[in-house]
Amino acid sequence: MSGVDRKKVVDWAESLPEPQRKDAREFIKAQREYYEQEIEHFRREIPNGRVIVFTNADHVCFIDREPEVLREMREFLSDTGSRRPKISFPPPVELEIPLAPTPVKANGKQWLVYELHIMSFFTNKLELTRVEVLRDGGKKPFASYQDEELTTRIAHAGLWVTGPTLPDDQPDKRIIGPGRRAVMYLLISFDSVADIPRVLRHRLYFKPTAISASDHEDVVEGAQIAVDRKPPLVLGAPLRGEGWVAVRGPSNDSGHRRSSVVIGGKARIPQRFAIDWSRIDADGRTYHGDRATNSNWLSNNANSHCLKANSN
């Protein structure tokens, strides 16, 4: 929106003696061409924007012609008609993967196990509706999560894994409050090492907000990370003898998988692949007699073999 009192400027130029008059005319012509170029550039870059020029006005038209200015602004910002603004801003979120995934072999498949952190810098709540995982350069996702599949993979920083999992004012895990961090736990399987992408990237969909241009979902892409291809550690059996079973093995929703520990200013998950072992007899019992007596448990006094510790 601008005001140009061309009549006053032209009258002023014509009142000058030569050669100042000629210089003023050239200046006015150059200025007019400049304004036209700026308007054309604006229309080209923001096709749904609107240029308003008040003739016989100057740069203080916002004061001198306030009613006209307010009328035009209200009409432009109204939700009716074709003048509704179509400029959209993506949700202000920061995406981070703290630790690059390393392929792990289990049950005849290759697995990528990692976490996607979603930090909201928005002043209102954001509702996450879908998350897609893509190969670098790929257009179609090879993994997609929404509804219950998405909800069960999300936890919120600062809340207990086994206790309250949501803030009191938040009805759904997919809703991220202002200044809050949500963590999405991913566990993706592949048939072979050759099927694993070299680079991962992520596409997130959010419900429209006050800064959205339409009623369609807003999309944010990011969190691109290279898969760590170094050879994984090969561990032998940690226990000896018969009857050992994995009571609580690696999974995407176990307490081990989602137990973050902050040390030295960095959040880590040292139990990402932790397993609880228990020993049973032929009848499937884990103890004899009084369970309150440690010596009655079949796993009591068993020797464990620690091969290597990994702080990640």
Do the beta carbons of residue 125 and residue 178 sit within 8 Å? yes
Q: Classify residue 303 as exposed, middle or buried by CB count within 10 Å of its CB (0-12, 13-18, 19+).
A: exposed
* 218 shares a domain with 98: yes
Res. 189 pLDDT band, cuts 50 70 90: very high
In this structure, of 17-21, 237-241, 307-311, the range with the lowest mean pLDDT score is: 307-311
* 238 shares a domain with 222: no
* 308 shares a domain with 199: no
Cα distances (Å, whole numbers) of residue 311 to 171, 187, 257, 273: 35, 20, 14, 12
| Residue 82 placed within a domain | no
Q: What CATH number does residue 213 fall under?
A: 2.60.40
Res. 140 pLDDT band, cuts 50 70 90: very high
pLDDT at 113 over 80: yes
* 101 shares a domain with 11: no
Do the beta carbons of residue 93 and residue 122 sit within 8 Å? yes
Q: What is the pLDDT of residue 65?
A: 67
Task: Mark which of 226, 245, 261 sits at the end of a domain.
Answer: 226
pLDDT at 101 over 50: yes
* 221 shares a domain with 97: yes
Domain count of the chain? 3
Task: Mark which of 177, 207, 226 sits at the end of a domain.
Answer: 226
Q: What is the pLDDT of residue 311?
A: 44
| Residue 83 placed within a domain | no
Q: Highest mean pLDDT: which of 82-96, 162-176, 181-195?
A: 181-195
According to DSSP, the residues that pair with 94 across neighbouring strands are 119
Average pLDDT, the chain: 82
Res. 84 pLDDT band, cuts 50 70 90: very low
* 10 shares a domain with 29: yes
Peptide bond into 250 cis (omega under 30): no
Domain boundaries, position 54: 2-77
Task: Mark which of 177, 196, 226 sits at the end of a domain.
Answer: 226
pLDDT at 4 over 60: no
| Residue 67 placed within a domain | yes
pLDDT at 12 over 70: yes
Taking every pair of Cα atoms in the chain, the longest distance, rounded to a whole number of angstroms, is: 117
| Residue 105 placed within a domain | yes
